[in-house]
């Protein structure tokens, strides 16, 4: 089945710096790659997603890149702010099960220090 | 707009007891999911239901059963709880299986003693 690996597990940056989180996936037929942000005590919420026919997508300070050949995708946060501190999860939607599954990475705890 | 509602929010069980976690969504979504979240292990898929009337195993189904009661509701049952099932459980739903956003509930924190 699909396996999603996420690195690093923790990331500490100074306010204003950039943060990069990387994920790899195993099922080459996976076609949808969302990123979720989870704040303390809450359920995860989608922040950005990318589909397999797109290489890069931006939304203000957040961008995601996808390299299908290498089977990896990354989240880039620029000009980080303290409110960006949270746990971030990547996920992939594999072909097995008709793309109905959503398999998550282990998460990255991001701390942005003022 | 409630979105995805889970009950209860907190629960303490004794080893061997049974319980059912309830999940309901009001977004007319077809697919629903149960995940467990443990420190350092992310969100692991327990079971999912691609559409009303179907259920399938995820990554960690052992010790759990599910019921897709109707399009709105998807319950998770622990028949004989074990300490290894201590976790935070999240229910999620998506409009369709492919390329659509998943919406999560607030979670149920379960402790088995």
User: What's the mean pLDDT when you consider all of chain A?
Assistant: 94
Asked whether the beta carbons of residue B98 and residue A102 sit closer than 8 angstroms, the reply is no
Q: Is the pLDDT of residue A97 over 80?
A: no
Give the span between the Cα atoms of A11 and A53, in whole angstroms. 29
Interchain contact A22–B (C-beta under 8 A): no
B18-30 as b/e, with b when 16 or more CB fall inside 10 Å?
Answer: eeebbbbbeeebb
Asked whether the CA dihedral B50, B57, A102, B93 is positive or negative, the reply is: positive
Ranking B13-17, B31-35, B37-41, B103-107 by mean pLDDT, the lowest is: B37-41
Question: What pLDDT, on a 0 to 100 scale, did the predictor assign at position A52?
Answer: 84
CA distance B79 to chain A (A): 24
| A64, A79 contact by CB (below 8 A) | no
Interchain contact A94–B (C-beta under 8 A): no
Interchain contact B43–A (C-beta under 8 A): yes
Tens digit of each residue's pLDDT (9 = 90 or more) over B20-75: 999 999 999 999 999 999 987 889 999 999 889 999 999 999 999 999 989 999 99
Q: Is the pLDDT of residue A96 over 80?
A: no
Tens digit of each residue's pLDDT (9 = 90 or more) over A64-86: 999 999 999 999 999 999 999 99
* β-sheet bridge partners, residue A48: A35
| A22, A7 contact by CB (below 8 A) | yes
Residue B1 — very low, low, confident or very high, per pLDDT cuts 50/70/90? low
State both tokens at B24.
Answer: 């309901």
Asked whether the beta carbons of residue A102 and residue B45 sit closer than 8 angstroms, the reply is yes
What residues contact A42, with CB distance under 8 A and at least 6 apart?
Answer: B106, B107
Interchain contact B36–A (C-beta under 8 A): no
Inter-chain CB pairs, A–B, below 8 Å: 71
DSSP type of residue A84 = G
Tens digit of each residue's pLDDT (9 = 90 or more) over A7-17: 999 999 999 99
How far is residue A28 from each of residues A6, A33, A95, B56, measured CA to CA in Å? 17, 12, 9, 22
Mean pLDDT in residue range B7-31: 96
User: What's the mean pLDDT when you consider all of chain B?
Assistant: 94
- Using CB atoms, pick whichever of A31, A36, A42 lies closest to residue B99: A31
């Amino acid at each position: 089945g699909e396996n999603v690996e996420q690195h690093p597990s923790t990331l500490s940056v100074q306010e204003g710096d950039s943060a990069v989180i990387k994920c790899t996936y195993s099922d080459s037929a996976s076609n949808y790659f969302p990123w979720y942000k989870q704040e303390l005590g809450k359920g995860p919420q989608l922040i950005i997603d990318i589909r397999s026919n797109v290489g890069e997508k931006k939304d203000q300070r957040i961008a995601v890149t996808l390299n299908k050949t290498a089977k990896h995708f990354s989240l880039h946060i620029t000009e980080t702010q303290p409110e960006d501190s949270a746990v971030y999860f990547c996920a992939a939607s594999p072909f097995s099960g008709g793309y109905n599954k959503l398999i998550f990475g282990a998460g990255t705890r991001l701390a942005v220090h003022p | 707009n409630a979105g995805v509602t889970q009950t209860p929010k907190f629960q303490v069980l004794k080893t061997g007891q049974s319980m059912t976690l309830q999940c309901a969504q009001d977004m007319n979504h077809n697919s629903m999911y149960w995940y467990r979240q443990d420190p350092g292990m992310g969100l692991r898929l327990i079971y999912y239901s691609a559409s009303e009337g179907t259920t399938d195993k995820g990554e960690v189904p052992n010790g759990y059963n599910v019921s897709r009661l109707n399009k709105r509701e998807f319950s998770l049952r622990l028949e004989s709880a074990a300490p290894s099932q201590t976790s935070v459980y999240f229910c999620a739903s998506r409009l369709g299986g492919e390329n659509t956003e998943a919406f999560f509930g607030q979670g149920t924190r379960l402790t088995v003693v």
